[in-house]
């Protein structure tokens, strides 16, 4: 089956702009999680959506938001971009049950804020 896809793969923005990243999960997966990866902070959890509802949230400011659509595709939005938002943003999808599935990661979106 097709893997997790993320678009775009690379993005360059300037401070103060906003950005929307997209994630298409594996077919049949209803959970989508988002992570930020930076050299300084490592991999940090942003939020998780399950059946269009935010189920878990990490410790990020309100500038970071997300949503999930009825087809399980998810978007995350970052408003008022800061230089420190430059990172690799990864999304992962899974079914609801840890015992029968795992989190499958996409290749990520590399965001550069100038």
Partner 1 sequence: AQSVTQLDSQVPVFEEAPVELRCNYSSSVSVYLFWYVQYPNQGLQLLLKYLSGSTLVKGINGFEAEFNKSQTSFHLRKPSVHISDTAEYFCAVTRPDSWGKLQFGAGTQVVVTP
Task: Give φ, ψ of 19 to 5 degrees.
Answer: -145, 150
CB-count exposure of residue 73 (10 Å: 0-12, 13-18, 19+) = middle
> Is 13 one of the binding residues for partner 1 (CB under 8 A)?
no
Q: Is the dihedral of CA 78, 84, 87, 89 positive or negative?
A: negative
Residues 48-77 that bind partner 1 (CB under 8 A): 48, 50, 55-56, 58
> Is 26 one of the binding residues for partner 1 (CB under 8 A)?
no
As measured in angstroms, the least distance from the Cβ of 22 to partner 1 is: 15
Number of residues lying near partner 1 (CB under 8 A) = 26
List interacting residues with partner 1 (CB under 8 A): 4, 31, 33, 35, 42-45, 48, 50, 55-56, 58, 90, 92, 94, 96, 98-99, 102-108
């Amino acid at each position: 089956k097709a893997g997790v896809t993320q678009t775009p793969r690379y993005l360059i923005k300037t401070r103060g702009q906003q950005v929307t990243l997209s994630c298409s999960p594996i077919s049949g997966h209803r959970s989508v999680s988002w992570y930020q990866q930076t050299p300084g902070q490592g991999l940090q959890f942003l939020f998780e959506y399950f059946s269009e509802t935010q189920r878990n949230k990490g410790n990020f400011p309100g500038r970071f938001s997300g949503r999930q659509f009825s087809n399980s595709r998810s978007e995350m939005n970052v408003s008022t971009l800061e230089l420190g938002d430059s990172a690799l943003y990864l999304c992962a999808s899974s079914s609801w049950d840890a015992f029968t599935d795992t989190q499958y990661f996409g290749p990520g979106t590399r965001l550069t804020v100038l």
